[in-house]
Amino acid sequence: MPSTPWETPLKSPKRHLIALAAALGVVTGAGAGYLVQAGREPKLPTFVQPPLPQARGPQPEPLTEALDRKVRNDGDLRELLLEKPSGAITPDWVQPQGWMDLYDYAGTWEDPEAADTFLEEQEFLRAAVTGWEDGGQEVQIWLAQFEQQKDFSAPADDSADTRYGAEADPDVESRPIPGTGEGKAYVHPKRFHEPGVAPYYRAEAHASRGDLSVHIWVYDDDPVPWPTIMDLAERQMERL
């Protein structure tokens, strides 16, 4: 089994800088256009809309705690994770408290120092983790949360980065996870070879909901069937 679930970083510093430069180019261009336009005389009369009548009648009932996603996400994220199956073993890598801080999360990247800076910019808050071993199969599930309080334009999750890493395998097969927008599950049909570790098969799933990212990995001595990774992904998303 692999020492860490990510063989590729969430986002390398080079790709991050390219994306950042592209975004700054768009913003700068838009800002310059606004300044030019602001200095010109308007050619059309100002459109004045009459005031709209205020809605009246009974107001909707507030969401219950069970339905309010914000309340759930601000609570104990560990309670949102799938439960370990009966008879499965908790591997040593799972933190006893079930949490992963910024330092541990950045440590899964190829360049932890750059990752630490990047994750701080993205306002990484915390990650709840779980996993188990059942026979020759190992499952790892991470639930990462981002704040978006200082920079509302920053991505609210990092699932796009992990999807990028999964799709770097030219042989990978992917399927959308129902009800998750851009969420996808991946099966790698060929054995993965890692120095010092016996070759293994793998599958993964990455999706987001609100300010939470879901990352699931399955490692096995035998090929991972589609129902295995899809079932884990769908059941985990149903809890969010």
Ordered by start, the domain boundaries in the chain are 13-18+67-238
Name the helix (H) or strand (E) containing 214: strand 212-220
Give the pLDDT confidence score for residue 203 in this predicted structure: 98
Q: What is the rounded distance in angstroms from the CA atom of residue 26 to the CA atom of residue 195?
A: 43
Beta bridge partners of 187: 173, 203
Give the pLDDT confidence score for residue 55 in this predicted structure: 60
Q: Say yes or no to pLDDT of 30 above 60.
A: no
Instruction: Supply the mean pLDDT for the chain.
Output: 76
Q: What is the rounded distance in angstroms from the CA atom of residue 103 to the CA atom of residue 113?
A: 9
Torsion of CA 174, 215, 160, 8, to 10 degrees: -90
Q: Say yes or no to pLDDT of 170 above 70.
A: yes
Q: Say yes or no to pLDDT of 141 above 70.
A: yes
Q: What is the rounded distance in angstroms from the CA atom of residue 236 to the CA atom of residue 180?
A: 11
What's the rounded mean pLDDT across residues 133-148? 91
Q: Say yes or no to pLDDT of 158 above 60.
A: yes
Give the pLDDT confidence score for residue 54 in this predicted structure: 62
Q: What is the rounded distance in angstroms from the CA atom of residue 181 to the CA atom of residue 176?
A: 8
Give the pLDDT confidence score for residue 59 in this predicted structure: 56
Q: Say yes or no to pLDDT of 2 above 70.
A: no
Number of residues that this document lists for the chain = 240
**Level-2 CATH architecture, domain 13-18+67-238:** 3-Layer(aba) Sandwich (3.40)
Give the pLDDT confidence score for residue 93 in this predicted structure: 80
DSSP string for 179-193: TSTT-EEEEEEEEEE
Could you give the C-alpha distances from 167 to 65, 173, 185, in angstroms and in order? 37, 8, 10
Does this model's pTM top 0.85? My answer is no
